[in-house]
Structure 1
Amino acid sequence: MSFLMRAPEECGSWEWELGGVAPGLASGLDVAARMTAVLRGHGLLEPEQVEWFWFVYGVGGVGIKTVLPVRGRLDPADLRGRVEASRPSGYPDARVGDLSVSGRGVWIDADGEERREERLVVLSVDPDERELSADVAVFHDVWGYFDFRGVPHPEIHRRNAPRLAAALGDLDALLGVKAEEGEMTYFGRAEGYGIATPDVIDGRGPDLTDRL
Protein backbone atom coordinates (compact mmCIF):
# COMPACT_ATOMS: atom_id res chain seq x y z
CA MET A 1 0.00 0.00 0.00
CA SER A 2 1.52 3.32 -1.05
CA PHE A 3 -1.57 5.54 -1.14
CA LEU A 4 -3.22 6.54 2.10
CA MET A 5 -6.83 7.54 2.54
CA ARG A 6 -7.31 10.35 5.06
CA ALA A 7 -10.42 10.40 7.21
CA PRO A 8 -12.31 13.70 7.60
CA GLU A 9 -12.33 13.11 11.36
CA GLU A 10 -9.57 11.77 13.57
CA CYS A 11 -9.37 8.02 14.15
CA GLY A 12 -7.56 8.70 17.40
CA SER A 13 -6.61 11.72 19.50
CA TRP A 14 -4.89 12.46 22.81
CA GLU A 15 -5.32 15.53 24.99
CA TRP A 16 -3.22 17.13 27.70
CA GLU A 17 -4.58 19.65 30.22
CA LEU A 18 -1.57 21.71 31.26
CA GLY A 19 -2.74 23.37 34.43
CA GLY A 20 0.83 23.57 35.71
CA VAL A 21 1.97 25.71 32.77
CA ALA A 22 1.38 29.45 32.65
CA PRO A 23 -1.34 30.16 30.07
CA GLY A 24 -1.08 32.61 27.20
CA LEU A 25 0.49 32.92 23.76
CA ALA A 26 4.15 32.82 24.81
CA SER A 27 3.68 29.62 26.81
CA GLY A 28 1.51 28.11 24.08
CA LEU A 29 4.19 28.66 21.45
CA ASP A 30 6.87 27.25 23.73
CA VAL A 31 4.82 24.12 24.39
CA ALA A 32 4.08 23.76 20.67
CA ALA A 33 7.79 24.02 19.86
CA ARG A 34 8.81 21.41 22.44
CA MET A 35 6.06 18.98 21.47
CA THR A 36 6.88 19.40 17.80
CA ALA A 37 10.52 18.58 18.52
CA VAL A 38 9.44 15.28 20.10
CA LEU A 39 7.19 14.36 17.18
CA ARG A 40 9.89 15.39 14.72
CA GLY A 41 12.38 13.18 16.53
CA HIS A 42 10.11 10.20 15.88
CA GLY A 43 9.70 11.13 12.22
CA LEU A 44 6.00 11.89 12.65
CA LEU A 45 5.88 15.64 12.06
CA GLU A 46 8.24 17.81 10.06
CA PRO A 47 6.52 21.16 10.65
CA GLU A 48 5.69 23.24 7.60
CA GLN A 49 3.09 25.68 8.89
CA VAL A 50 1.31 27.02 11.94
CA GLU A 51 -2.28 28.19 11.53
CA TRP A 52 -5.06 29.54 13.72
CA PHE A 53 -8.29 31.53 13.71
CA TRP A 54 -8.65 34.88 15.46
CA PHE A 55 -11.39 35.60 17.99
CA VAL A 56 -12.50 38.43 20.25
CA TYR A 57 -13.58 37.81 23.84
CA GLY A 58 -17.30 38.34 24.22
CA VAL A 59 -17.81 38.27 20.45
CA GLY A 60 -16.37 34.99 19.21
CA GLY A 61 -14.60 34.16 15.99
CA VAL A 62 -14.05 36.97 13.48
CA GLY A 63 -13.79 34.67 10.48
CA ILE A 64 -10.11 35.32 9.80
CA LYS A 65 -7.52 32.57 9.58
CA THR A 66 -3.76 33.11 9.53
CA VAL A 67 -1.23 30.61 8.18
CA LEU A 68 2.49 31.11 8.83
CA PRO A 69 5.09 28.94 7.08
CA VAL A 70 7.86 27.43 9.20
CA ARG A 71 10.88 25.38 8.25
CA GLY A 72 11.59 22.24 10.20
CA ARG A 73 11.64 23.70 13.71
CA LEU A 74 9.59 26.19 15.67
CA ASP A 75 11.31 29.19 17.20
CA PRO A 76 8.88 30.45 19.88
CA ALA A 77 10.38 33.94 20.14
CA ASP A 78 10.39 34.47 16.37
CA LEU A 79 6.92 33.01 16.01
CA ARG A 80 5.47 35.22 18.73
CA GLY A 81 6.62 38.32 16.84
CA ARG A 82 5.21 37.03 13.57
CA VAL A 83 1.91 36.10 15.23
CA GLU A 84 1.52 39.51 16.86
CA ALA A 85 2.39 41.24 13.59
CA SER A 86 -0.32 39.33 11.75
CA ARG A 87 -3.20 40.47 13.98
CA PRO A 88 -6.07 41.73 11.74
CA SER A 89 -5.96 45.51 11.57
CA GLY A 90 -9.73 45.74 11.91
CA TYR A 91 -9.66 43.79 15.19
CA PRO A 92 -7.00 45.25 17.50
CA ASP A 93 -8.35 43.19 20.42
CA ALA A 94 -8.33 39.92 18.50
CA ARG A 95 -6.69 36.95 20.20
CA VAL A 96 -5.15 33.76 18.90
CA GLY A 97 -7.27 30.61 18.88
CA ASP A 98 -5.97 27.03 18.72
CA LEU A 99 -2.50 26.88 17.17
CA SER A 100 -2.36 23.97 14.71
CA VAL A 101 1.06 22.68 13.63
CA SER A 102 1.12 20.55 10.49
CA GLY A 103 3.54 19.19 7.94
CA ARG A 104 4.75 15.88 6.59
CA GLY A 105 5.44 12.73 8.54
CA VAL A 106 6.92 9.33 7.76
CA TRP A 107 4.96 6.10 7.75
CA ILE A 108 6.35 2.69 6.81
CA ASP A 109 4.65 0.41 4.30
CA ALA A 110 4.34 -3.39 4.47
CA ASP A 111 7.67 -3.81 2.64
CA GLY A 112 9.52 -1.64 5.14
CA GLU A 113 9.81 1.37 2.82
CA GLU A 114 9.51 4.79 4.41
CA ARG A 115 6.94 7.09 2.84
CA ARG A 116 6.06 10.71 3.57
CA GLU A 117 2.51 11.92 4.03
CA GLU A 118 1.00 15.36 4.58
CA ARG A 119 -0.71 15.83 7.95
CA LEU A 120 0.16 12.36 9.17
CA VAL A 121 0.06 13.76 12.71
CA VAL A 122 -1.47 17.12 13.62
CA LEU A 123 -0.57 18.96 16.81
CA SER A 124 -2.81 21.65 18.32
CA VAL A 125 -2.12 23.88 21.31
CA ASP A 126 -4.76 26.14 22.83
CA PRO A 127 -3.04 29.22 24.34
CA ASP A 128 -6.09 30.10 26.40
CA GLU A 129 -5.50 32.84 28.95
CA ARG A 130 -6.98 30.64 31.70
CA GLU A 131 -5.51 27.17 31.10
CA LEU A 132 -3.21 25.77 28.44
CA SER A 133 -4.09 22.53 26.67
CA ALA A 134 -2.69 20.47 23.80
CA ASP A 135 -3.94 17.79 21.43
CA VAL A 136 -2.40 15.27 19.02
CA ALA A 137 -4.62 13.70 16.37
CA VAL A 138 -4.15 11.08 13.65
CA PHE A 139 -6.37 10.59 10.59
CA HIS A 140 -4.95 7.59 8.70
CA ASP A 141 -5.41 3.84 9.11
CA VAL A 142 -1.72 2.89 9.43
CA TRP A 143 -1.95 3.06 13.23
CA GLY A 144 -4.69 0.43 13.55
CA TYR A 145 -4.73 -3.31 12.86
CA PHE A 146 -7.35 -2.89 10.10
CA ASP A 147 -7.38 -0.49 7.18
CA PHE A 148 -10.41 1.68 6.46
CA ARG A 149 -11.88 -1.11 4.29
CA GLY A 150 -11.79 -3.47 7.26
CA VAL A 151 -8.93 -5.55 5.85
CA PRO A 152 -6.22 -6.59 8.34
CA HIS A 153 -2.78 -5.13 7.63
CA PRO A 154 -0.66 -6.51 10.47
CA GLU A 155 2.71 -5.60 8.92
CA ILE A 156 1.76 -1.96 8.51
CA HIS A 157 0.37 -1.88 12.04
CA ARG A 158 3.52 -3.51 13.41
CA ARG A 159 5.81 -1.02 11.67
CA ASN A 160 3.89 2.12 12.61
CA ALA A 161 1.84 1.75 15.78
CA PRO A 162 4.88 1.38 18.09
CA ARG A 163 6.36 4.60 16.70
CA LEU A 164 3.22 6.53 17.57
CA ALA A 165 3.06 4.91 21.02
CA ALA A 166 6.67 5.82 21.73
CA ALA A 167 6.09 9.44 20.71
CA LEU A 168 2.99 9.76 22.90
CA GLY A 169 4.88 8.29 25.85
CA ASP A 170 7.67 10.81 25.31
CA LEU A 171 5.12 13.63 25.18
CA ASP A 172 3.69 12.50 28.52
CA ALA A 173 7.21 12.62 29.97
CA LEU A 174 7.88 16.04 28.44
CA LEU A 175 4.67 17.59 29.73
CA GLY A 176 4.66 15.84 33.09
CA VAL A 177 1.06 14.70 32.71
CA LYS A 178 -0.53 11.65 31.11
CA ALA A 179 -2.64 12.21 28.02
CA GLU A 180 -6.38 11.67 28.13
CA GLU A 181 -7.95 9.75 25.26
CA GLY A 182 -10.01 11.91 22.92
CA GLU A 183 -13.60 11.25 21.95
CA MET A 184 -14.56 8.42 19.64
CA THR A 185 -15.45 9.24 16.04
CA TYR A 186 -16.89 7.17 13.20
CA PHE A 187 -13.31 6.26 12.23
CA GLY A 188 -12.09 5.03 15.59
CA ARG A 189 -10.90 6.00 19.03
CA ALA A 190 -7.73 6.12 21.06
CA GLU A 191 -6.99 3.38 23.56
CA GLY A 192 -3.87 3.84 25.62
CA TYR A 193 -1.13 4.92 23.23
CA GLY A 194 -2.79 3.32 20.22
CA ILE A 195 -6.01 2.85 18.29
CA ALA A 196 -8.68 0.60 19.78
CA THR A 197 -9.42 -2.63 17.94
CA PRO A 198 -12.98 -2.49 16.53
CA ASP A 199 -15.53 -5.28 16.52
CA VAL A 200 -14.32 -8.08 14.26
CA ILE A 201 -16.65 -10.19 12.10
CA ASP A 202 -15.22 -13.11 10.13
CA GLY A 203 -11.72 -11.74 10.56
CA ARG A 204 -12.53 -8.26 9.24
CA GLY A 205 -13.14 -4.91 10.82
CA PRO A 206 -15.82 -2.42 9.74
CA ASP A 207 -15.72 -0.92 6.25
CA LEU A 208 -15.54 2.83 6.82
CA THR A 209 -15.04 3.92 3.21
CA ASP A 210 -18.62 5.16 2.83
CA ARG A 211 -17.56 8.35 4.64
CA LEU A 212 -14.19 8.88 3.01
Structure 2
Amino acid sequence: MITSVPIGDWTWEVSSGAKDLRPVQAAETALAVWHVLAGYELAAPVGKAGISVRSASDTRDVRVRVDGLSLEPEPLSPGTALSRAVGEADSLEGDFVVGVRVECPGYWLEKGAKHRVEKLFTIQVDIWKRTLLVVTLETYVDAWLTVDTRDREQPEVHAENAPRLAAALTGISSLLSSAPTPGDPNRHATPSEGGFEDPRIEGPAYDDSWGTFEISARSRQLRSRIPASENEYQEITDHPVRYFTVRRDGQTMGYVWASIGDDAAGYEPRTAAGEEAFEAGGQMLLRLRAAHERGLSALDALAWVVQTAPEAEGSLAVGATPQVAATLDALEELSGRY
Protein backbone atom coordinates (compact mmCIF):
# COMPACT_ATOMS: atom_id res chain seq x y z
CA MET A 1 0.00 0.00 0.00
CA ILE A 2 1.05 3.58 -0.65
CA THR A 3 0.78 6.27 1.99
CA SER A 4 0.63 10.06 1.96
CA VAL A 5 2.80 10.24 5.09
CA PRO A 6 6.06 8.29 5.57
CA ILE A 7 5.98 4.71 6.80
CA GLY A 8 9.61 5.03 7.87
CA ASP A 9 12.73 7.19 7.75
CA TRP A 10 16.50 7.12 8.30
CA THR A 11 18.85 9.96 9.25
CA TRP A 12 22.59 10.48 8.76
CA GLU A 13 24.52 13.28 10.50
CA VAL A 14 27.77 14.53 9.00
CA SER A 15 29.73 17.10 11.00
CA SER A 16 32.14 19.31 9.07
CA GLY A 17 34.02 20.55 12.15
CA ALA A 18 35.07 24.08 11.31
CA LYS A 19 34.23 23.73 7.61
CA ASP A 20 31.95 26.39 6.13
CA LEU A 21 29.14 24.41 4.48
CA ARG A 22 27.29 26.23 1.71
CA PRO A 23 23.82 25.68 0.14
CA VAL A 24 25.38 24.13 -2.97
CA GLN A 25 26.76 21.31 -0.80
CA ALA A 26 23.26 20.53 0.45
CA ALA A 27 22.06 20.30 -3.15
CA GLU A 28 25.06 18.21 -4.23
CA THR A 29 24.50 15.80 -1.33
CA ALA A 30 20.78 15.44 -2.09
CA LEU A 31 21.56 14.67 -5.74
CA ALA A 32 24.28 12.18 -4.77
CA VAL A 33 21.77 10.31 -2.58
CA TRP A 34 19.27 10.49 -5.43
CA HIS A 35 21.81 8.80 -7.73
CA VAL A 36 22.34 5.99 -5.18
CA LEU A 37 18.59 5.33 -5.17
CA ALA A 38 18.49 5.52 -8.97
CA GLY A 39 21.03 2.69 -9.15
CA TYR A 40 18.33 0.39 -7.74
CA GLU A 41 15.41 1.99 -9.67
CA LEU A 42 14.22 3.48 -6.39
CA ALA A 43 14.46 6.88 -8.04
CA ALA A 44 13.54 7.53 -11.67
CA PRO A 45 15.57 10.03 -13.74
CA VAL A 46 13.02 12.76 -13.01
CA GLY A 47 11.79 14.39 -9.85
CA LYS A 48 10.92 17.60 -8.04
CA ALA A 49 13.19 19.62 -5.81
CA GLY A 50 12.85 22.58 -3.47
CA ILE A 51 15.17 24.74 -1.39
CA SER A 52 14.60 26.90 1.66
CA VAL A 53 16.75 29.19 3.76
CA ARG A 54 15.60 30.22 7.25
CA SER A 55 17.22 32.26 9.97
CA ALA A 56 18.95 30.04 12.53
CA SER A 57 17.71 32.28 15.35
CA ASP A 58 14.09 32.31 14.15
CA THR A 59 13.09 29.57 11.73
CA ARG A 60 9.86 31.45 10.95
CA ASP A 61 12.06 34.02 9.21
CA VAL A 62 12.20 32.53 5.70
CA ARG A 63 14.69 34.23 3.37
CA VAL A 64 14.41 31.87 0.39
CA ARG A 65 11.70 29.35 -0.48
CA VAL A 66 11.40 27.74 -3.90
CA ASP A 67 9.40 24.54 -4.47
CA GLY A 68 8.39 22.36 -7.38
CA LEU A 69 11.60 22.67 -9.40
CA SER A 70 11.85 20.00 -12.09
CA LEU A 71 15.11 18.08 -11.93
CA GLU A 72 16.82 18.33 -15.30
CA PRO A 73 19.43 15.81 -16.53
CA GLU A 74 22.22 17.92 -14.96
CA PRO A 75 20.29 19.72 -12.20
CA LEU A 76 23.13 21.98 -11.06
CA SER A 77 24.40 22.97 -14.48
CA PRO A 78 24.55 26.76 -15.04
CA GLY A 79 21.17 28.17 -15.96
CA THR A 80 19.01 25.38 -14.53
CA ALA A 81 16.18 26.26 -12.16
CA LEU A 82 17.85 24.49 -9.23
CA SER A 83 21.23 26.14 -9.81
CA ARG A 84 19.57 29.59 -9.87
CA ALA A 85 17.76 28.87 -6.59
CA VAL A 86 20.97 27.57 -5.00
CA GLY A 87 22.80 30.69 -6.19
CA GLU A 88 20.18 32.92 -4.55
CA ALA A 89 20.58 30.99 -1.28
CA ASP A 90 24.37 31.10 -1.52
CA SER A 91 24.38 34.89 -1.82
CA LEU A 92 23.05 35.33 1.72
CA GLU A 93 25.40 36.03 4.62
CA GLY A 94 24.72 35.01 8.22
CA ASP A 95 23.67 31.97 10.27
CA PHE A 96 20.96 30.07 8.45
CA VAL A 97 19.28 26.69 8.23
CA VAL A 98 19.45 25.57 4.60
CA GLY A 99 17.13 22.80 3.43
CA VAL A 100 17.03 20.96 0.10
CA ARG A 101 14.21 18.49 -0.53
CA VAL A 102 13.89 16.07 -3.45
CA GLU A 103 10.80 13.99 -4.23
CA CYS A 104 11.79 10.77 -5.99
CA PRO A 105 9.47 8.85 -8.28
CA GLY A 106 10.51 5.21 -8.39
CA TYR A 107 9.42 1.60 -8.79
CA TRP A 108 8.38 -1.16 -6.45
CA LEU A 109 8.13 -4.73 -7.74
CA GLU A 110 5.45 -7.41 -7.58
CA LYS A 111 5.82 -10.71 -9.45
CA GLY A 112 8.47 -9.05 -11.59
CA ALA A 113 6.16 -6.21 -12.68
CA LYS A 114 7.22 -2.63 -11.98
CA HIS A 115 4.76 -0.27 -10.33
CA ARG A 116 5.65 3.41 -10.43
CA VAL A 117 5.00 5.69 -7.48
CA GLU A 118 5.45 9.45 -7.93
CA LYS A 119 6.73 9.83 -4.37
CA LEU A 120 8.45 6.56 -3.49
CA PHE A 121 11.10 8.39 -1.42
CA THR A 122 11.89 11.91 -0.34
CA ILE A 123 15.39 13.15 0.42
CA GLN A 124 15.83 16.03 2.85
CA VAL A 125 19.27 17.58 3.36
CA ASP A 126 19.66 20.30 6.00
CA ILE A 127 22.69 22.41 6.88
CA TRP A 128 22.70 23.92 10.37
CA LYS A 129 24.81 27.03 10.92
CA ARG A 130 27.15 25.89 8.15
CA THR A 131 28.76 23.18 10.30
CA LEU A 132 26.34 20.22 10.49
CA LEU A 133 24.83 18.40 7.53
CA VAL A 134 21.83 16.16 8.18
CA VAL A 135 20.36 13.79 5.57
CA THR A 136 16.90 12.26 6.04
CA LEU A 137 15.42 9.63 3.74
CA GLU A 138 11.67 8.87 3.94
CA THR A 139 9.67 6.17 2.15
CA TYR A 140 5.95 6.04 1.39
CA VAL A 141 5.43 2.41 0.31
CA ASP A 142 5.11 -0.77 2.39
CA ALA A 143 6.72 -3.07 -0.23
CA TRP A 144 9.76 -3.46 2.08
CA LEU A 145 7.67 -5.12 4.82
CA THR A 146 6.94 -8.81 5.37
CA VAL A 147 3.36 -7.82 6.30
CA ASP A 148 1.69 -4.93 4.50
CA THR A 149 -0.07 -2.09 6.27
CA ARG A 150 -3.40 -3.89 5.94
CA ASP A 151 -2.03 -6.90 7.87
CA ARG A 152 -1.55 -9.23 4.89
CA GLU A 153 1.63 -11.26 4.67
CA GLN A 154 3.58 -10.54 1.48
CA PRO A 155 6.74 -12.69 1.45
CA GLU A 156 7.21 -12.49 -2.32
CA VAL A 157 6.85 -8.70 -2.44
CA HIS A 158 9.25 -8.40 0.50
CA ALA A 159 11.78 -10.68 -1.20
CA GLU A 160 11.70 -8.60 -4.40
CA ASN A 161 11.99 -5.20 -2.72
CA ALA A 162 13.61 -5.34 0.72
CA PRO A 163 17.10 -6.23 -0.63
CA ARG A 164 16.98 -3.18 -2.92
CA LEU A 165 16.23 -0.92 0.02
CA ALA A 166 18.95 -2.52 2.16
CA ALA A 167 21.50 -2.09 -0.64
CA ALA A 168 20.50 1.56 -1.11
CA LEU A 169 20.83 2.29 2.62
CA THR A 170 24.29 0.70 2.58
CA GLY A 171 25.23 2.77 -0.45
CA ILE A 172 24.08 6.01 1.17
CA SER A 173 26.01 5.16 4.35
CA SER A 174 29.13 4.57 2.25
CA LEU A 175 28.59 7.86 0.42
CA LEU A 176 28.24 9.80 3.67
CA SER A 177 30.80 7.75 5.67
CA SER A 178 28.18 7.48 8.40
CA ALA A 179 25.71 4.87 9.64
CA PRO A 180 22.00 5.75 9.59
CA THR A 181 19.87 6.32 12.65
CA PRO A 182 16.53 4.59 12.01
CA GLY A 183 13.44 6.66 12.69
CA ASP A 184 11.16 5.94 15.62
CA PRO A 185 8.53 3.20 15.40
CA ASN A 186 5.31 4.64 14.00
CA ARG A 187 1.74 3.55 13.40
CA HIS A 188 2.77 1.68 10.24
CA ALA A 189 6.20 0.10 10.82
CA THR A 190 9.49 0.08 12.74
CA PRO A 191 12.56 1.16 10.72
CA SER A 192 15.88 -0.60 11.26
CA GLU A 193 19.42 0.14 10.08
CA GLY A 194 18.95 -2.18 7.10
CA GLY A 195 15.28 -1.52 6.35
CA PHE A 196 12.39 -2.49 8.63
CA GLU A 197 11.85 -4.90 11.51
CA ASP A 198 9.65 -7.93 10.85
CA PRO A 199 6.15 -7.18 12.26
CA ARG A 200 5.41 -10.93 12.38
CA ILE A 201 7.68 -11.24 15.44
CA GLU A 202 5.96 -8.82 17.82
CA GLY A 203 2.90 -8.00 15.75
CA PRO A 204 1.99 -4.66 14.14
CA ALA A 205 1.40 -1.62 16.31
CA TYR A 206 -2.14 -1.25 14.91
CA ASP A 207 -4.52 -3.52 13.02
CA ASP A 208 -4.98 -2.32 9.44
CA SER A 209 -2.92 0.83 10.03
CA TRP A 210 -3.46 1.94 6.43
CA GLY A 211 -7.25 1.80 6.69
CA THR A 212 -7.24 3.22 10.21
CA PHE A 213 -4.98 6.21 9.64
CA GLU A 214 -4.28 6.76 5.94
CA ILE A 215 -7.89 7.32 4.89
CA SER A 216 -8.37 10.12 7.41
CA ALA A 217 -4.94 11.59 6.55
CA ARG A 218 -5.84 11.67 2.86
CA SER A 219 -9.18 13.30 3.62
CA ARG A 220 -7.50 16.04 5.66
CA GLN A 221 -4.97 16.63 2.91
CA LEU A 222 -7.70 16.87 0.28
CA ARG A 223 -9.88 19.24 2.27
CA SER A 224 -6.97 21.48 3.18
CA ARG A 225 -6.92 22.48 -0.51
CA ILE A 226 -10.47 23.87 -0.66
CA PRO A 227 -12.49 26.32 1.48
CA ALA A 228 -14.29 24.84 4.48
CA SER A 229 -18.01 24.23 4.03
CA GLU A 230 -20.90 22.35 5.58
CA ASN A 231 -22.46 21.98 2.13
CA GLU A 232 -21.24 18.41 1.65
CA TYR A 233 -22.35 14.86 1.00
CA GLN A 234 -21.54 12.24 3.61
CA GLU A 235 -17.98 10.89 3.34
CA ILE A 236 -18.61 7.28 4.34
CA THR A 237 -21.11 4.59 3.40
CA ASP A 238 -21.75 0.91 4.03
CA HIS A 239 -23.32 0.47 0.58
CA PRO A 240 -21.73 -0.37 -2.78
CA VAL A 241 -20.46 2.67 -4.69
CA ARG A 242 -20.59 3.72 -8.32
CA TYR A 243 -17.47 5.50 -9.52
CA PHE A 244 -15.75 7.10 -12.49
CA THR A 245 -12.03 7.30 -13.17
CA VAL A 246 -10.48 10.78 -13.18
CA ARG A 247 -7.46 11.19 -15.47
CA ARG A 248 -4.97 13.87 -16.41
CA ASP A 249 -2.88 13.46 -19.56
CA GLY A 250 -3.78 9.76 -19.64
CA GLN A 251 -2.68 9.08 -16.05
CA THR A 252 -5.25 8.04 -13.43
CA MET A 253 -5.51 10.66 -10.69
CA GLY A 254 -8.28 9.05 -8.64
CA TYR A 255 -11.94 8.07 -8.52
CA VAL A 256 -15.06 10.20 -8.00
CA TRP A 257 -17.84 8.12 -6.45
CA ALA A 258 -21.36 8.05 -5.03
CA SER A 259 -23.14 5.55 -2.83
CA ILE A 260 -25.79 3.39 -4.44
CA GLY A 261 -27.78 3.17 -1.19
CA ASP A 262 -27.54 6.50 0.65
CA ASP A 263 -26.49 10.13 0.31
CA ALA A 264 -22.70 9.74 0.36
CA ALA A 265 -20.25 10.86 -2.32
CA GLY A 266 -16.62 11.79 -2.56
CA TYR A 267 -13.26 11.30 -4.24
CA GLU A 268 -10.47 8.82 -3.59
CA PRO A 269 -6.99 10.01 -4.66
CA ARG A 270 -4.73 7.49 -6.36
CA THR A 271 -1.84 7.89 -3.94
CA ALA A 272 0.70 6.57 -6.45
CA ALA A 273 0.08 9.67 -8.60
CA GLY A 274 1.45 11.93 -5.89
CA GLU A 275 0.45 15.56 -5.32
CA GLU A 276 -1.41 15.80 -8.63
CA ALA A 277 -3.96 13.27 -7.34
CA PHE A 278 -4.82 15.63 -4.49
CA GLU A 279 -4.95 18.67 -6.77
CA ALA A 280 -7.43 16.81 -8.98
CA GLY A 281 -9.38 15.80 -5.88
CA GLY A 282 -9.85 19.41 -4.86
CA GLN A 283 -11.52 20.11 -8.21
CA MET A 284 -13.77 17.06 -7.92
CA LEU A 285 -14.87 17.91 -4.38
CA LEU A 286 -15.77 21.45 -5.46
CA ARG A 287 -17.87 20.04 -8.31
CA LEU A 288 -19.65 17.69 -5.89
CA ARG A 289 -20.24 20.65 -3.61
CA ALA A 290 -21.85 22.53 -6.49
CA ALA A 291 -24.12 19.55 -7.13
CA HIS A 292 -25.08 19.46 -3.45
CA GLU A 293 -26.04 23.13 -3.63
CA ARG A 294 -28.43 22.19 -6.44
CA GLY A 295 -30.13 19.71 -4.11
CA LEU A 296 -29.12 16.65 -6.13
CA SER A 297 -28.97 13.18 -4.61
CA ALA A 298 -25.54 11.58 -4.44
CA LEU A 299 -26.05 9.43 -7.56
CA ASP A 300 -27.56 12.33 -9.49
CA ALA A 301 -24.63 14.47 -8.38
CA LEU A 302 -22.20 11.90 -9.75
CA ALA A 303 -23.99 11.89 -13.10
CA TRP A 304 -24.08 15.70 -13.12
CA VAL A 305 -20.34 15.93 -12.45
CA VAL A 306 -19.64 13.65 -15.41
CA GLN A 307 -22.17 15.19 -17.79
CA THR A 308 -21.30 18.82 -17.13
CA ALA A 309 -17.54 18.47 -16.82
CA PRO A 310 -15.69 19.93 -19.82
CA GLU A 311 -13.95 17.29 -21.90
CA ALA A 312 -10.69 18.67 -20.55
CA GLU A 313 -10.66 20.90 -17.49
CA GLY A 314 -7.06 21.98 -17.04
CA SER A 315 -6.20 18.67 -18.78
CA LEU A 316 -8.39 16.88 -16.18
CA ALA A 317 -10.99 14.51 -17.64
CA VAL A 318 -13.65 12.24 -16.14
CA GLY A 319 -14.21 8.87 -17.81
CA ALA A 320 -17.56 8.15 -19.46
CA THR A 321 -18.01 4.57 -18.22
CA PRO A 322 -19.19 3.98 -14.63
CA GLN A 323 -17.94 1.08 -12.55
CA VAL A 324 -19.15 -0.40 -9.28
CA ALA A 325 -17.18 -1.35 -6.18
CA ALA A 326 -18.80 -3.70 -3.68
CA THR A 327 -17.73 -1.42 -0.82
CA LEU A 328 -16.11 1.95 -0.35
CA ASP A 329 -13.23 0.09 1.32
CA ALA A 330 -12.64 -1.82 -1.94
CA LEU A 331 -12.38 1.46 -3.86
CA GLU A 332 -10.05 2.89 -1.21
CA GLU A 333 -7.90 -0.24 -1.55
CA LEU A 334 -7.71 0.25 -5.32
CA SER A 335 -6.74 3.91 -4.94
CA GLY A 336 -4.00 3.14 -2.43
CA ARG A 337 -2.38 0.11 -4.02
CA TYR A 338 -1.50 0.89 -7.64
**TM-score, with structure 2 as normaliser:** 0.53
Unaligned 5+ runs, structure 2 = 215-338
Unaligned 5+ runs, structure 1 = none
CA 1:82–1:134 in structure 2 vs 1: closer, same or farther (change >3 Å)?
A: same
**Identity, % of aligned pairs?**
22
Superposition deviation, residue 201 in structure 1: 8.2
Aligned to 2:219: none
Aligned to 2:125: 125
Q: Secondary structure at the match of 1:17?
A: strand
| Structure 1: 4+ residue segments shifted above 6 A | 91-94
1:82-121 matches, within 5 Å, as: 82-85=85-88, 97-109=98-110, 111-121=111-121
| Distance in 2 of aligned mates of 1:14 and 1:76 | 29
CA 1:133–1:70 in structure 2 vs 1: closer, same or farther (change >3 Å)?
A: same
| Distance in 1 of aligned mates of 2:72 and 2:94 | 29
Aligned to 1:150: 151
| Distance in 2 of aligned mates of 1:73 and 1:59 | 33
Q: Which amino acid aligns with 1:14?
A: W
**Candidates 24, 27, 38, aligned match of 1:26:** 24
| Distance in 1 of aligned mates of 2:132 and 2:93 | 23
Superposition deviation, residue 155 in structure 1: 0.9
Contact 1:16 1:134 (8 Å CA) reproduced: yes
Larger Rg: 2
Q: Secondary structure at the match of 2:101?
A: strand
Superposition deviation, residue 86 in structure 1: 7.5
CA 1:178–1:93 in structure 2 vs 1: closer, same or farther (change >3 Å)?
A: closer
Superposition deviation, residue 12 in structure 1: 1.8
Aligned to 2:71: 70
Q: Which structure's relative contact order is higher, taking Cα pairs within 8 Å and 6+ residues apart?
A: 1
Higher helix share: 2
| Distance in 2 of aligned mates of 1:14 and 1:73 | 26
Contact 1:36 1:73 (8 Å CA) reproduced: no
Q: Which amino acid aligns with 2:136?
A: D
Contact 1:149 1:207 (8 Å CA) reproduced: yes
CA 1:43–1:184 in structure 2 vs 1: closer, same or farther (change >3 Å)?
A: same
CA 1:19–1:201 in structure 2 vs 1: closer, same or farther (change >3 Å)?
A: closer
Is 1:61 aligned to residue 68 of structure 2? no
Q: Which amino acid aligns with 2:14?
A: L
Q: Secondary structure at the match of 1:142?
A: coil
Contact 1:11 1:185 (8 Å CA) reproduced: yes
Residue by residue over 1:131-186, the C-alpha shift from the partner in whole angstroms, topping out at 9 and shown as x without a partner, is 01101111211110111111101111111110010111111111111111122221
CA 1:69–1:93 in structure 2 vs 1: closer, same or farther (change >3 Å)?
A: farther
| Distance in 2 of aligned mates of 1:193 and 1:113 | 24
**TM-score, with structure 1 as normaliser:** 0.82
Count of residues in Structure 1 that have an aligned counterpart in Structure 2 = 203
CA 1:114–1:81 in structure 2 vs 1: closer, same or farther (change >3 Å)?
A: same
Q: Secondary structure at the match of 2:199?
A: coil
**Candidates 11, 20, 39, aligned match of 2:7:** 11
CA 1:76–1:59 in structure 2 vs 1: closer, same or farther (change >3 Å)?
A: farther
Q: Secondary structure at the match of 2:48?
A: strand
Instruction: Using the TM superposition, name which of 170-179 and 72-81 deviates more.
Output: 72-81
| Distance in 1 of aligned mates of 2:100 and 2:121 | 14
Residue by residue over 1:46-75, the C-alpha shift from the partner in whole angstroms, topping out at 9 and shown as x without a partner, is 241112444223232246742121135542
